[in-house]
Amino acid sequence: MKESEFISFHSWFKRNYKKLGFVSIKKEKRGADFTCTDKDGQKINVELELLASNFLRHRHDESKVDIVVCLVNDINLPVKTIEVHPGVKITSETGIKRLRSKRKASFFVVVMGNTAFVRVVDFLLENRPFDYSKSEIAKNAGVGWSTLYGIWKVLERADIVRQTRMVGKSKMYRLNEENPVVRKLIELDADITELFAHKLVALLPIRVRSAKTSPPLVLPPT
């Protein structure tokens, strides 16, 4: 991310933090980017990232961050994440439900092609802090079990996935990040996402979406 874009995102946050539910803000020199106060007086450590995955790439200490605010939520983090980006105003509950139910392809899938193999790899990339059973991977990647069976042979032969543990009778898997090929895939995914994300910095209005709780919300230009 260019320094000017990072400064622009910080400036936007300092102008709009109240619209995210905070009542005060303090810039920090160490730890998280900002310490904010909510309406109950609770201190909340907030980290800003262009991409949610940068939180991992920058090796932030998750125990010292309460919320990550990002432009593109390209990975499921173990920290609450709020995505802010240009969006379409949804004015009805029906519109919100339709938006939530519609599966949206990631930038990685858009560039690499919407195939079963790419969707499986994309799901593993997006959720790499966590492990999943094969049935969970198939369901979330939108592929059939028989299709995953063939894909999985390729992934195992290339040592792209590894078994992490057993949960009941189910084997759990995640990406093998010790594999140089996987590390290149992670870099490629980040580069593709960042390429698209650069265009989001200057665009308004900005929609706010919590990855865990809040429905989409459009913030007006400031």
DSSP, res 213: S
What's the mean per-residue pLDDT of the chain?
78
Confidence of residue 177 (pLDDT cuts 50, 70, 90): very high
Other Cβ atoms closer than 10 A to 117: 17
Q: Note the pLDDT of residue 35.
A: 93
Alpha carbon 197 to its chain centroid, in Å, reads 12
Separation of alpha carbons 110 and 118, rounded Å: 10
Contacts of 6 (CB under 8 A, 6+ apart): 50
Confidence of residue 166 (pLDDT cuts 50, 70, 90): very high
Separation of alpha carbons 183 and 59, rounded Å: 15
Strand partners, 22: 38
Q: Note the pLDDT of residue 24.
A: 92
| pLDDT digits 0-9 by tens, 90-112 | 333 333 333 333 345 678 888 88
Residue 194 has pLDDT above 80, yes or no: no
Contacts of 109 (CB under 8 A, 6+ apart): 118, 119, 122
| pLDDT digits 0-9 by tens, 197-222 | 665 554 434 444 444 444 443 444 44
Residue 2 has pLDDT above 90, yes or no: no
Domains and CATH numbers, the chain: 3-89+205-219 (no CATH), 107-186 (1.10.10.10)
Residue 149 has pLDDT above 70, yes or no: yes
Q: Note the pLDDT of residue 198.
A: 63
| pLDDT digits 0-9 by tens, 13-28 | 888 888 888 899 998 8
Residue 51 has pLDDT above 70, yes or no: yes
Confidence of residue 44 (pLDDT cuts 50, 70, 90): very high
Separation of alpha carbons 103 and 125, rounded Å: 17
Separation of alpha carbons 74 and 122, rounded Å: 10
Residue, of 19 and 139, whose pLDDT is higher: 139
- Interval 27-53 mean pLDDT: 87
Separation of alpha carbons 85 and 198, rounded Å: 11
Separation of alpha carbons 55 and 48, rounded Å: 9
